[in-house]
Amino acid sequence: MKKVVWFVLVFTLFGCSGNGEKFDGVFEGRPRVNPPYVVGNYPGTEFIFAIPTSGERPMTWTVEGLPEGLTLNEKTGIIRGVVKEAGDYGVKITAKNAHGSQVSELQIRIGKELALTPVMGWNSWNTFGQHLTEALIIETAEALIANGMRDLGYNYINIDDLWQLKERGADGHIVIDSTKFPRGIKYVADYLHERGFRLGIYSDASKYTCAGVCGSLGYEEVDARDFAEWGVDLLKYDYCGAPASRDTAIVRYRKMGEALRATDRSIIYNICEWGRRKPWEWAKEVGGHYWRTTEDIRDAWDLRESGTGLYGIMDIIDVNGELADYAGPGFWNDPDMLVVGIFGNSSSINSGKVQYGCTLKEYRTHMSMWCMMAAPLLSGNDVRNMPDSVLNILTNPEIIAINQDQLGIQGKMVKKEGDCEIWIKPLYKGEVALAVMNRGEQAEKVEVPLQLAGFVNKALVRDVWLHRDLGEYESLKLDLEPHVTVVLRLTQH
């Protein structure tokens, strides 16, 4: 008879930190080089990469095998330069501090592809909307450095809508709103690049953006060149005010995709037409690296029964979860930016008669599932000012490692039992991430045979929120509170 080992996990709100094994914070202990372990860049364009490393400071880094054209600053761990020759370069990184050293491998792929793992960073829209300024961007960058998020891989800082004036200038260029960005966008880009960040910006495939300021239709080349000259590294390209037709969308997105590709920078291209024209079927061909699959996310758990037609976390998972086969290294489904830690404090994404804000457990489920779905991780909260409970969700290195796994497979739901869903994401070197999400309002007991994840015998099981090895199992029985998600990392025994 098959031996079943029963294991019960009972979660309390703060149980994840309190019950776990001792777990070093971002700036404690030995060096740990975090993912991504594979990065792409176009030949002949600027490469900027802050080696994401946890551990006590001061820290120093050394590298072997850097391609010609790149240099490492050994005190900051930032690699910069331009590589002319396409190729795959294996780089050996050693990070060292008072507690010891760690060696890690980084693949630098100079070629046709970017975003070999999902983009990580921060975007201004979800909390700040129109309240967007140079000071906010600079303070956000400093906060991401001080709180350790940059060292966990959050390295794109994305300016969303409303950095520009409504009307295009007489010279044919977009006019930067100088009350918000008095020193221009290039000043901000330079500031970020020196600190190992990359800068994202926003425009729209029609005359005006969603918030009613200048878009790029008819000026794609001019704008793409301006963005590149300023040092922009990513464009989110929206679709407000544009015709519904899919053919038109493809033409308009292709035009900007080609314009970006013709610049001398590696610019990641985010297609944002909210999934209405099935962009997963055509976004890659027009130069896109990731594409929104749904309407805008709201800071809410589940809005299906609200009658508003708005999308909360669960509503988005239901759509994005079906599209796993379209994702892979360089090309990702985008279930929209994170609402982790917003707690209802947003004027831009919360409208209508809905109760906004989620609990910590719900935000942890949100983070878990975005990682299982290999989604871009763009935090949207005020990172200058957040409680540790929120920071712990955003900076859990083990859940981020699942998101940033180099196989780049989007996880899928493999079983549903009542309100509990079991999701599987295959990882590099035969490991598997398994998540069990209780989306219902009652506590649930679920048995999870690890055969579901392809393990014939026992697997070694680690809980990535408890930071604890649980042992070897053939099957687990989990006790899940409402809205909680357990995420396990499984390794062949």
Provide, rounded to whole angstroms, the least separation between the CB of residue 328 and ligand GLA. 23
Provide, rounded to whole angstroms, the least separation between the CB of residue 240 and ligand GLA. 6
| Whole-angstrom distance, CA of residue 469 vs CA of residue 448 | 17
Q: DSSP per residue over 459-485, as a string? A: EEEEETTTTEEEEEESEEEEEE-TT-E
Q: Is the omega angle on the peptide bond into residue 58 within 30 degrees of 0, that is, cis?
A: yes
| Whole-angstrom distance, CA of residue 480 vs CA of residue 418 | 12
| Whole-angstrom distance, CA of residue 488 vs CA of residue 35 | 18
Rank residues 160 and 405 by Cβ distance to ligand GLA and give the closer one: 160
Q: Which two tokens stand for residue 196?
A: 């190992």
The enclosing H or E element of 186 equals: helix 184-194
Query: Side chain identity at 192, as an amino acid letter?
Result: L
Region of residue 153 (phi > 0: left; psi between -120 and 50: alpha; otherwise: beta): left
Give contact residues for ligand GLA (rule: CB under 6 A).
Answer: 125, 160-161, 209-211, 238, 272, 274, 296
Provide, rounded to whole angstroms, the least separation between the CB of residue 117 and ligand GLA. 22
| Whole-angstrom distance, CA of residue 74 vs CA of residue 85 | 24
Where are the strands (E) in 74-124, listed by range? 78-82, 87-97, 100-110, 120-123
Distance of CA 335 to the CA centre of its chain: 10
Catalytic residues: 238, 296
Taking Cα atoms as reference points, which of 79, 83, 80 lies closest to residue 62?
A: 79
| φ, ψ at 135 (rounded to 5°) | -60, -40
Rank residues 160 and 431 by Cβ distance to ligand GLA and give the closer one: 160
Find residue 40's DSSP bridge partners.
109
Query: Side chain identity at 466, as an amino acid letter?
Result: L
Query: Side chain identity at 194, as an amino acid letter?
Result: E
